[in-house]
């Protein structure tokens, strides 16, 4: 495609900034919290729907709120070329994670429209419901359900902190219809490509505007529950204590040691949540729940570390006389990008004079699940200092504009296939 593609970075930035004001967070932007099916999430969805309609796209919302905005192609029955990401945001995070892939895809479509391009295949922007695991403990519920990785029963079995299940919460938020209908028909996507900030430091360090993703690392998430014995902080002497928190702390340190010793440099492990019961300064903790996030591009190594970690945690629990229960919330395989989409993205980079490198994604994305049923690719743009999941997350307007233009050119190539 030889047309001039010129993204409107000012409009994109203004829209991102407005979206950032739609937040559950008491702090002002750029700090953002947007939990799925919260009031802020619903306001954000309404704002985005208005933008999609202004751009002349036909909007469809599925029973759990996955939102599709379609630019009908000359051959509407042909497999769709999809692009999109998420707009939910973990507590106290930034304003670019996911949102750049939603508003960026919208700007890519507007850029193509302004250039006079008309697609053969339909191009569809998707906003996935709940990429983040914040509310229901499992990430990517929208794309898992769309691709059959979460059944209607499994979705209903997911509960939030108040004990409300996914089905009740989505209905209260105004999403109706049978959960079974979320599943996409086979062959729905001809190709899918997601634009995202890198969330790591490599592109910035290399001075490159674009990363073409070749694979997404395999994520897993576990919940560990340690039960010890509570008691009075003054009266129970040290030799007889069965403190659940000190046992959990030892497990957390063992997790860190195992990850540091891993043969794969890409294995990472994080304990990000700790719930201490009863949570009083003068009471020995009787129960601790702890999250564990463990990932690697090398699935066999990720799984071997998971097995080793359970053994070590059980040995710690046994020695300290506490009970340990381990629940695997999810343990997913990695996803490999489609060679044809990688080629199309690299050709788009060359056409636009944007230098790039191939790279893996250590963060997970909805593309991980789309990639299990359809040809998938991802484009990364640099973010300052590689910082993400923090309020000071930042991508420059220039970086976003280049990402949008490369995305637009790639979508145009894929839509002509
Ligand atoms: C996505 O937010 C991830 O945790 O990788
Ligand atoms: Mn995220
Ligand atoms: Mn994200």
Ligand number with the minimum distance to the CA of 86: 3
How many angstroms separate the CA atoms of 208 and 336, rounded?
22
Confidence check: pLDDT of 317 > 80: yes
Residue whose structure tokens are 């932007």: 29
Ligand 1 center to residue 211 CA distance, Å?
Answer: 17
Q: Which of 172, 133, 72 is nearest to 330 (CA)?
A: 133
Q: Which atom of ligand 1 is nearest to the CA of 295?
A: 5
What pLDDT score does 2 carry? 53
What pLDDT score does 1 carry? 54
Confidence check: pLDDT of 3 > 80: no
Confidence check: pLDDT of 304 > 90: yes
How many angstroms separate the CA atoms of 225 and 75, rounded?
53
The residue nearest atom 1 of ligand 1, judged by CA position, is 364
Nearest 5°: the CA angle 203, 207, 211 is: 35
What are the pLDDT digits (tens) for 181-229? 999 999 999 999 999 999 999 999 999 999 999 999 999 999 999 999 9
What pLDDT score does 60 carry? 98
How many angstroms separate the CA atoms of 150 and 349, rounded?
35
Report helix, strand or coil for 223: strand
Name the packing angle between helices 9-21 and 397-416 (round to 10°): 110
Q: Give the mean model confidence (pLDDT) for residues 31-51.
A: 98
Report helix, strand or coil for 45: helix
Residue whose structure tokens are 């040995």: 315
Ligand 2 center to residue 334 CA distance, Å?
Answer: 17
Contacts of 161 (CB under 8 A, 6+ apart): 135
Q: Is 403 exposed, middle or buried (0-12, 13-18, 19+ CB in 10 A)?
A: buried
Q: Give the mean model confidence (pLDDT) for residues 329-347.
A: 98
Pocket lined around ligand 1, Cβ cut-off 6 Å: 132, 363-364
How many angstroms separate the CA atoms of 269 and 40, rounded?
30
The residue nearest atom 2 of ligand 1, judged by CA position, is 132
Give the Cβ contact number of residue 192 at 10 Å: 27
Percent of the chain whose predicted confidence (pLDDT) is above 90: 99
Q: Give the mean model confidence (pLDDT) for residues 113-137.
A: 97
Ligand 3 center to residue 88 CA distance, Å?
Answer: 9
Q: Write the CA distances from 237 to 234, 240, 241, 276, integer angstroms.
A: 8, 6, 7, 20
Ligand number with the minimum distance to the CA of 390: 2
Q: How much is the CA Rg of the chain, to the nearest whole Å?
A: 22
Give the Cβ contact number of residue 257 at 10 Å: 12
Q: Which atom of ligand 1 is nearest to the CA of 363?
A: 5
Q: Give the mean model confidence (pLDDT) for residues 19-47.
A: 97
Confidence check: pLDDT of 249 > 60: yes
Q: Give the mean model confidence (pLDDT) for residues 263-282.
A: 97
- Interface predicted TM-score (ipTM): 0.98
Q: Give the mean model confidence (pLDDT) for residues 275-281.
A: 98
User: Residue 66: pLDDT band by 50, 70, 90 thresholds?
Assistant: very high
Q: Which atom of ligand 1 is nearest to the CA of 132?
A: 2
- What is the best residue among 292, 363, 390 to mutate for testing ligand 1's pocket, by most ligand atoms within 8 Å of CB? 363
Q: Give the mean model confidence (pLDDT) for residues 409-413.
A: 98
Contacts of 251 (CB under 8 A, 6+ apart): 224, 226, 290, 312, 313, 316, 317, 324
- What is the best residue among 194, 199, 393 to mutate for testing ligand 1's pocket, by most ligand atoms within 8 Å of CB? 199
Ligand 3 center to residue 298 CA distance, Å?
Answer: 21
Ligand 2 center to residue 23 CA distance, Å?
Answer: 15
Q: Which residues pair with 219 in a beta bridge?
A: 295
Which parts of 152-210 fold into alpha helices (H)? 152-157, 166-172, 202-206
The DSSP secondary structure of 62-117, one letter per residue, reads -TT--EEEEE--SSTTSPEEEEEEE--EEEEE-S-TTHHHHHHHHHHHHHHHHTT-
Q: Report all structural domains of the chain as residue ranges with CATH numbers, in order of start.
A: 9-217+334-416 (3.40.630.10), 219-331 (3.30.70.360)
Contacts of 195 (CB under 8 A, 6+ apart): 83, 85, 100, 101, 104, 105, 108, 378, 379, 381, 403, 404, 407
Q: Which of 78, 4, 358 is nearest to 202 (CA)?
A: 358
How many angstroms separate the CA atoms of 395 and 380, rounded?
11
N-to-C CA span, the chain: 12
Ligand 2 center to residue 121 CA distance, Å?
Answer: 30
Report helix, strand or coil for 128: strand
Q: Which atom of ligand 1 is nearest to the CA of 97?
A: 2
């Amino acid at each position: 495609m030889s047309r001039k593609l010129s993204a409107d970075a000012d409009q994109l930035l203004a829209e991102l900034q407005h979206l950032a004001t739609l937040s559950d967070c008491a702090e002002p932007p750029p700090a953002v919290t947007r939990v799925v099916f919260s009031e802020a999430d619903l306001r954000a969805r309404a704002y985005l729907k208005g933008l999609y309609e202004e751009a002349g796209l036909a909007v469809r919302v599925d029973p759990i709120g996955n939102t599709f905005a379609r630019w009908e192609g000359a051959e509407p029955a042909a497999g769709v070329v999809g692009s999109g990401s998420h707009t939910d945001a973990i507590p106290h995070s930034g304003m670019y994670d996911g949102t750049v892939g939603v508003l960026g895809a919208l700007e890519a479509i507007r850029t193509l429209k302004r250039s006079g391009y008309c697609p053969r295949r339909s191009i569809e922007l998707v906003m996935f419901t709940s990429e983040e695991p914040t509310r229901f403990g499992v990430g990517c519920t929208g794309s898992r359900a769309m691709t059959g990785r979460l059944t209607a029963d499994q979705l209903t079995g997911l509960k939030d902190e108040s004990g409300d299940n996914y089905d009740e919460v989505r209905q209260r938020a105004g999403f109706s219809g049978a959960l079974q209908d979320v599943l996409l028909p086979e062959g729905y996507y001809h190709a899918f490509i997601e634009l995202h900030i890198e969330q790591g430091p490599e592109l910035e360090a290399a001075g490159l505007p674009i990363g073409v993703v070749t694979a997404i690392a395999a994520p897993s998430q576990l919940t560990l529950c340690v039960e010890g014995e509570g008691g009075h902080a003054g009266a129970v002497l040290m030799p007889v204590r069965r403190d659940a928190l000190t046992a959990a702390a030892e497990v957390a340190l063992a997790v860190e040691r195992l990850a540091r010793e891993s043969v794969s440099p890409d294995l990472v492990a994080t304990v990000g949540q700790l719930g201490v019961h009863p949570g009083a300064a003068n009471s020995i903790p009787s129960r601790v729940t702890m999250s564990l996030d463990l990932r690697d591009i090398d699935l066999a190594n990720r799984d071997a570390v998971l097995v080793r970690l359970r053994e070590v945690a059980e040995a710690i629990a046994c020695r300290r006389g506490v009970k340990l229960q381990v629940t695997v919330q999810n343990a997913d395989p990695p996803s490999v990008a489609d060679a044809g989409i990688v080629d199309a993205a690299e050709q788009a980079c060359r056409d636009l004079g944007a230098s790039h490198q191939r790279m893996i994604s250590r963060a997970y994305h909805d593309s991980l699940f789309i990639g299990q049923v359809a040809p998938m690719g991802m484009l990364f743009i640099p973010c300052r200092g590689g910082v993400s999941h923090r309020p000071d997350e930042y991508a420059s307007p220039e970086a976003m504009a280049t990402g949008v233009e490369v995305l637009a050119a790639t979508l145009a190539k894929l839509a002509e296939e």
